[in-house]
């Protein structure tokens, strides 16, 4: 779960995640596993293509996450889960490690790619976070692609909501085909040839979430953080814990102020701080030398990385 980029200032690295949770071999068909691996590889190759051509870490993060948002397998964009009211509400954030500029959005219902809306907030407004109809109006004014809310509807996610609603009525009911518990979020952290870091995270939230609920994905310092002096972080997990423990910034602070390697810092927070309080999930972390870590305390996490050689690596299970 840890690697070191080869020495040299022009090395590039991209690390991604596609959500954590109860993800085991016994719960995944061979066909479904192949689909997830293909989706993660496509995202890795897209982001690597940006970095290999000398593009910025911000461009790589945005383009990578857009691929994942457009893939209905992942709980972001097209694959977003449903709220209790049967809506799809999307959140995202992005941060520039060079300047610590950041942008985020929450509660979107008509913007195809929330990560691009978050970047627009960062670069085209004086704000960091915009939510709901105001964020949608701003994104529309910036020329981002608008879709009908029905674009986000998928049968798989709709069935998951119906299963959750039935559980509320019959908590002890044995529900055949119930979807395994997942904390669906997608994220990316990147290092470009100029040595700059960036991080981004996007999500459809939690199935059956109550009205107005916002998790950690759009909150800078909780689900997303980046600064060249420490590291870039994107998280996936039970958002309420990641907010309360300011997970992304806590990891960066351990790297910056205690001089901890990213692997040690990430594991300190995920395994020693979150696990004891049953805060389930994981993170991807990358520093300006290309060191990265992908720890998680759940049964699995969709994750992968690609470096200068352009070979994508994808992992799903704990082992």
Predicted confidence (pLDDT) at residue 177 exceeds the cutoff of 80: no
For the segment 253-277, the average pLDDT, to the nearest whole number, is: 98
How sure is the predictor about 319, in pLDDT bands with cuts at 50, 70 and 90? confident
pLDDT at 172: 55
Q: CA distances (Å), 136 to each of 21, 73, 88, 113, 304, in order?
A: 30, 24, 14, 11, 31
CA pair distance 74, 72, nearest whole angstrom: 5
Predicted confidence (pLDDT) at residue 58 exceeds the cutoff of 80: yes
When the pLDDT of each residue in the chain is averaged and rounded to a whole number, the result is 93
CA pair distance 204, 75, nearest whole angstrom: 5
Predicted confidence (pLDDT) at residue 2 exceeds the cutoff of 50: no
Q: Count of CB atoms within 10 A of residue 151's CB?
A: 16
pLDDT at 6: 37
CA pair distance 238, 136, nearest whole angstrom: 26
CA pair distance 57, 241, nearest whole angstrom: 28
Beta pairing, strands 129-131 & 102-108 = parallel
Q: How many residues does the chain have?
A: 319
Q: What is the torsional sign of CA 185, 189, 190, 194? A: positive
pLDDT at 24: 85
Tell me how many domains the chain contains.
1
Predicted confidence (pLDDT) at residue 64 exceeds the cutoff of 80: yes
Beta bridge partners of 282: 236, 296
How sure is the predictor about 169, in pLDDT bands with cuts at 50, 70 and 90? confident
More confident call, 43 vs 175: 43
State which residues form the domain around 208: 2-317
What SS3 state is found at 58?
helix
pLDDT in tens, 237-263: 999 999 999 999 999 999 999 999 999
Predicted confidence (pLDDT) at residue 60 exceeds the cutoff of 70: yes
What's the CATH code of the domain at 155? 3.60.20.30
Residue in the block written with tokens 């810092």: 265
What secondary structure letter does DSSP report for 269?
I
pLDDT at 53: 97
Predicted confidence (pLDDT) at residue 178 exceeds the cutoff of 60: no
pLDDT at 174: 41
pLDDT in tens, 281-298: 999 999 999 999 999 999
Question: Which pTM does this prediction carry?
Answer: 0.94
Catalytic (active-site) positions: 185
Beta pairing, strands 300-306 & 13-21 = antiparallel
CA pair distance 160, 84, nearest whole angstrom: 11
The per-residue DSSP string of 28-41 comes to S-HHHHHHHHHHHH
What percent of the chain has a predicted confidence (pLDDT) above 70?
93
pLDDT at 22: 77
pLDDT at 170: 75
């Amino acid at each position: 779960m840890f690697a070191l980029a080869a020495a040299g200032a022009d090395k590039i690295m991209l690390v991604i995640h596609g959500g954590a949770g109860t993800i085991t071999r016994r719960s995944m068909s061979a066909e479904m596993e192949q689909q997830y691996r293909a989706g993660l590889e496509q995202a890795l190759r897209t982001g690597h293509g940006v970095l290999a051509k000398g593009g910025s870490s911000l461009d790589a993060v945005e383009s990578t996450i857009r691929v994942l948002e457009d893939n209905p397998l992942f709980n972001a964009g097209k694959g977003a889960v449903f709220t209790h009211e049967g809506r799809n509400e999307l959140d995202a954030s992005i941060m520039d490690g060079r300047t610590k500029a950041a942008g985020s959005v929450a509660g979107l219902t008509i913007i195809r790619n929330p990560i691009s809306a978050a970047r627009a907030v960062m670069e085209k407004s004086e704000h960091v976070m915009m939510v709901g109809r105001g964020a949608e109006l701003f994104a529309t004014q910036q020329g981002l692609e608008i879709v009908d809310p029905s674009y986000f509807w998928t049968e798989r996610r709709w069935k998951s909501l119906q299963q959750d609603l039935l559980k509320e009525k019959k908590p002890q009911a044995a529900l055949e085909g119930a979807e395994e518990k997942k904390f669906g979020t997608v994220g990316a952290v990147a290092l470009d040839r100029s040595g700059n870091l960036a991080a981004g995270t996007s999500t459809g939230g939690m199935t059956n979430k109550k009205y107005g609920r916002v998790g950690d994905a759009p909150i800078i310092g909780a689900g997303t953080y980046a600064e060249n002096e420490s590291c870039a972080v994107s998280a996936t997990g039970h958002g309420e814990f990641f907010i309360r423990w300011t997970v992304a910034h806590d990891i960066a602070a351990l790297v910056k102020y205690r001089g901890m390697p990213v692997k040690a810092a990430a594991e300190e927070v995920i395994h020693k701080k979150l696990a004891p309080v049953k805060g389930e999930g994981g993170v991807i972390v990358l520093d300006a030398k290309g060191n990265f870590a992908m720890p998680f305390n759940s049964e699995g996490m969709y994750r992968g990385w690609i470096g200068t050689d352009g070979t994508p690596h994808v992992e799903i299970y704990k082992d």
